[in-house]
Structure 1
Amino acid sequence: MSSPTSVLGPIIVGAGPSGLAVAACLADAGIPSTVLEKSDCVASLWQHRTYDRLKLHLPKKFCELPLMSFPADFPKYPSKQQFISYMESYAAFFNIFPKFNSEVETAWFDSAIGCWRVKLASGEQLLSRWLVVATGENAEPALPDIPGIEKFGGRLTHTCNYKSGAEFEDNKVLVVGCGNSGMEVSLDLCRYNGRPHMVVRNTVHVLPREMLGMSTFGFAVKLLRWLPVTAVDRILVAVSNMTLGGTDRLGLRRPKMGPMEMKNLTGKTPVLDVGALGLIEAGKIKVVNGVKEITRTGAKFVDGKEEQFDSIVLATGYRSNVPSWLKGVDDGFFTSEGLPKDQFPKGWKGANGLYCVGFTRRGLLGTSSDALNISQDILLQWPAIQTTIN
């Protein structure tokens, strides 16, 4: 094994929006960083693991990274390709050049030398006073443990590999999951003569993407300046019911807890409707109960029904991969699921120069907040480190 290489400035693991945001804020403060990315590009989740028709669910003003706005000619809800171009331009503007194809095998704090050791899959080892975990909440696909799933004889895929309904033309498809991805995949399948059956196992909040002439999220943010979250939730649900009608009639039961309160406490995002509800009402998207078992030709449901399917799409989300590579953090900073134990806005800083970004469950607004906090905190330490080096 080659000798470890000491790097000037923090090591940032991940070149998605979170990692780029920290690197940009550090660069703006005159602090270098080393960005490690296991894939071959920035924003690899967006480039390699998202479907073609994806657009930002929130207006672009809520999805900007620190220090650089979206181009003025971009639409209110930028497309996947527009967001990727923004990420690439962002990296270029701040002279961020990640080390691509550099998968972190393990990282740990070496108390004997007061540095983080980061070992790459290639065998290379890097040392830094600071480590920024920027792999985020959506690092790896979350695969459900459904009995018999290995028996299915048709096409089985997770949404991370789903690109377009054209691949499922005329298929009867079981879509497992009714979040934003499940709804949009079902909508996309219909455009190619697919016959989606969407599994709705639990309650779900479905809201219109816009309310009273503004984005639903922006509307909620304005209300939260003046009203408690419970009052805002009552307004959101009331306006939603007036706009969309009660969703219970479609088999989409609302939770008792309001959408914003649920988002804050559990991280579960309400579904913003972009057309799926109309297709459910028209009978083109079938809502089905929870799956009891997958069979060779289809699925058995908890209500006792059984149906055959050509394909299954798992719209079951993503999870953190932090526990697989970050070792020796025994202070309770991360949970066993790889998420910060402390809730936003306190969860960005750990001990011994450890930071994390992209785990707030508050989208890119939370990422921006954490990135600025991290850069400012390291900036306070920077003069002392420079004195030591010199």
Structure 2
Amino acid sequence: MAPQWDAVVVGAGFGGIGAGIELDRLGLHDFVILEREDDLGGTWHVNRYPGLAVDIASVTYSYSFEPNPSWSRLFAPGAELKKYAEHVAVKYDLRRRMRFGTVVEGARWDAGNEQWVVTVAGGETLTARYLLTATGFLSQPYTPPFPGIESFAGKIIHTTAWDDDYDLTDRRAAVIGTGATAVQLVPEVAERVAELTVFQRTPIWVVPKVDAPIPGVVRGLFAKVPLTQKAARLVNTGMLEALMVVGVLHYAQAKPVNSAAAALARAHLYAQVRDPETRAKLTPHYDFGCKRPTFSNTYFKTFNQPHVHLETNPIDHVEPDGIVTADGHKTEIDTLLLATGFNLWDVNFPAIEIIGRDGVDLGKFWRDNRFQAYEGITVPKFPNFLSLNSPYSYSGLSYFTTIEAQMKHMGRLFTEMLRRGEHTFEVTERANAEFLDRVTAKLGSSVFYGGDCATARSYYFNQHGEAALLRPTSTTNAHREAVTFPLDDYTYGRTA
């Protein structure tokens, strides 16, 4: 029985858009992109909170083959990323192949027909030769189960479901969380509310943000001479590589680089926060890089304002009119803003139920064993399946370096399969095991294992205590291996 589609892509963010572009390049035009939200853009559609912007320079946070010369700032606001996603989807003729408001519940491999059967909410099923999941690394919002939170009588807003109609003026608000989202949100909220309390469990490393409007003359130069924008991208990517690859992944060999980054962040904190006690509370007690660092020129300054308070005692419970901490202190509020992040390892890897060959459940397999994916994209016993957000796949600090490396891997893999006249592929157990051993060994010299990350509470670490998110190589290496991996690392044709 022939499948309905060449491929089903789950997710219409930048990962899904990249997958669609590559499928077209390969001549597999008959595909559908399923998206649970009501429009494309992924995180840049879902997130609309005040202060939302990229934390990687715009020239790098974009497809290298589709530069945007019109970024308004070095770090573009979120609305521009959403607009960029729309532009790319239209230019590459993807929007017409997207279905919005479609919640994928799961997928299973049909060995007899050599196809994937994808089930969506409401009972509909779709069949496809290939399944590509592009559900993102940060797509499953997390709300900690604070006792009594259901009794809160005021307004609760998670940053992934921002209420644009809710007026924060003169509110008594609390922000729970001090990760990258809170660093952007807190200064904006502080300008509007009467009282703001920030509940911090773990402080975050923050370095200065070299941000400014991009002058019109520069944008004009980018448009007329694309090589100038490519040069800017190359310089920024090199700086990110130095920070991430040298200072974080090669921590054992380059401790001075890591120490210098931490010193910069401490100096930034010291220069911006007047009160010594507040500075001490905002200072991380883990090594730089254990958690993803962030950039801001305004976050620390916010705590100098008399109506802004930093609370570091653990939350005990929530009452109808406030939050009570473990020391018995109650903070009365009428608005609760949750910047509590995402659940990666319990529900995000994978974000849907995926049943492969021999009835293997991917999520159960990962959680019962080790999180693993060959070159960060394929898994044994899952034929014709590409997971675009996988263990050991995130390369560098820009998501787009990951996306483009995976597109190249797709191109090499599918080209070889089609050259052989086959229509199925599966990575071998041997190749997967060798890759897992290699990346695990490389991580041994990283800050995650060689540094002090005990108090970081970092989403980089899974429930096995492994830092299985980042690919511990340079971006150059990831892209080189995407076009040179041994073709016999896969089997082609009918799977066992």
Counterpart residue number, 1:63 = 61
Residue in structure 2 matching 1:349, options 378, 381, 385 = 378
Superposition deviation, residue 332 in structure 1 = 7.6
CA distance in 2, matches of 1:29, 1:161: 37
| CA offset digits 1:242-269 (Å, max 9, x no partner) | 333288725113132222xx2xxxxx32
Taking structure 1 as reference, are residues 339 and 216 closer, same or farther at Cα in structure 2, changes over 3 Å only? farther
Counterpart residue number, 1:219 = 239
Superposition deviation, residue 31 in structure 1 = 2.7
Residue in structure 1 matching 2:301, options 278, 284, 291 = 278
CA distance in 2, matches of 1:338, 1:181: 31
Indicate the SS of the match to 1:186. Answer: helix
Residue in structure 1 matching 2:355, options 307, 317, 328 = 328
Residue in structure 1 matching 2:74, options 60, 73, 76 = 76
CA distance in 1, matches of 2:188, 2:367: 31
Determine if the alignment matches structure 1 residue 309 to structure 2 residue 333. Answer: yes
Q: Which runs of 5+ in 1 are unaligned?
A: 263-267
- Which shifted more, 374-383 or 89-98? 374-383
| CA offset digits 1:268-298 (Å, max 9, x no partner) | 3223224010111334431102211111210
Task: Give matches, 1:190-339, under 5 Å.
Answer: 190-210=190-210, 219-222=239-242, 228-229=250-251, 230-245=255-270, 249-259=279-289, 262=290, 268-289=291-312, 290-319=314-343, 320-321=347-348, 325-329=352-356, 334=363
- Which shifted more, 348-357 or 30-39? 30-39
Residue in structure 1 matching 2:21, options 15, 20, 24 = 24
AA aligned opposite 2:157: T
CA distance in 2, matches of 1:153, 1:73: 41
Native 8 Å contact 2:354 2:361 kept in 1: no
CA distance in 2, matches of 1:326, 1:239: 43
CA distance in 2, matches of 1:25, 1:231: 41
CA distance in 1, matches of 2:363, 2:301: 41
| CA offset digits 1:279-338 (Å, max 9, x no partner) | 113344311022111112101112332221111111111235565632324658546679
Taking structure 1 as reference, are residues 99 and 74 closer, same or farther at Cα in structure 2, changes over 3 Å only? same
Taking structure 1 as reference, are residues 14 and 284 closer, same or farther at Cα in structure 2, changes over 3 Å only? same
Superposition deviation, residue 108 in structure 1 = 0.8
Native 8 Å contact 1:177 1:314 kept in 2: yes
Native 8 Å contact 2:102 2:120 kept in 1: yes
TM-score (norm 1): 0.84
CA distance in 2, matches of 1:226, 1:315: 30
Counterpart residue number, 2:404 = 368
Indicate the SS of the match to 2:282. Answer: coil
Superposition deviation, residue 5 in structure 1 = 7.2
- Identity across the alignment (%): 19
Native 8 Å contact 1:358 1:370 kept in 2: no
Taking structure 1 as reference, are residues 140 and 183 closer, same or farther at Cα in structure 2, changes over 3 Å only? same
Q: Which runs of 5+ in 2 are unaligned?
A: 212-231, 425-492
Native 8 Å contact 2:354 2:362 kept in 1: no
| CA offset digits 1:225-246 (Å, max 9, x no partner) | 7673333321111122233328
Counterpart residue number, 2:44 = 46
AA aligned opposite 1:297: D
Taking structure 1 as reference, are residues 67 and 128 closer, same or farther at Cα in structure 2, changes over 3 Å only? same
AA aligned opposite 2:327: D
- Which shifted more, 39-48 or 333-342? 333-342
CA distance in 2, matches of 1:192, 1:10: 47
Counterpart residue number, 1:185 = 185
CA distance in 2, matches of 1:243, 1:52: 23
Native 8 Å contact 1:132 1:356 kept in 2: yes
| CA offset digits 1:117-141 (Å, max 9, x no partner) | 1122243322222211111222232
RMSD: 3.2
Taking structure 1 as reference, are residues 19 and 224 closer, same or farther at Cα in structure 2, changes over 3 Å only? closer
CA distance in 1, matches of 2:116, 2:64: 26
Native 8 Å contact 1:349 1:356 kept in 2: yes
| CA offset digits 1:37-86 (Å, max 9, x no partner) | 12221114322432143111110122112521123454321222211111
Aligned length: 375
Native 8 Å contact 2:2 2:113 kept in 1: no
Native 8 Å contact 1:39 1:101 kept in 2: yes
Taking structure 1 as reference, are residues 143 and 17 closer, same or farther at Cα in structure 2, changes over 3 Å only? same
Counterpart residue number, 2:461 = none
Counterpart residue number, 1:265 = none
CA distance in 2, matches of 1:11, 1:64: 24
Indicate the SS of the match to 1:210. Answer: coil
Native 8 Å contact 2:36 2:102 kept in 1: yes
Taking structure 1 as reference, are residues 192 and 82 closer, same or farther at Cα in structure 2, changes over 3 Å only? same
CA distance in 1, matches of 2:369, 2:334: 36
CA distance in 2, matches of 1:47, 1:224: 27
Taking structure 1 as reference, are residues 18 and 323 closer, same or farther at Cα in structure 2, changes over 3 Å only? closer
Greater relative contact order (Cα 8 A, min sep 6): structure 1 or 2?
Answer: 1
Indicate the SS of the match to 1:303. Answer: coil
CA distance in 2, matches of 1:369, 1:255: 34
Counterpart residue number, 1:173 = 173
Taking structure 1 as reference, are residues 307 and 226 closer, same or farther at Cα in structure 2, changes over 3 Å only? closer
AA aligned opposite 1:282: Q
AA aligned opposite 2:263: A
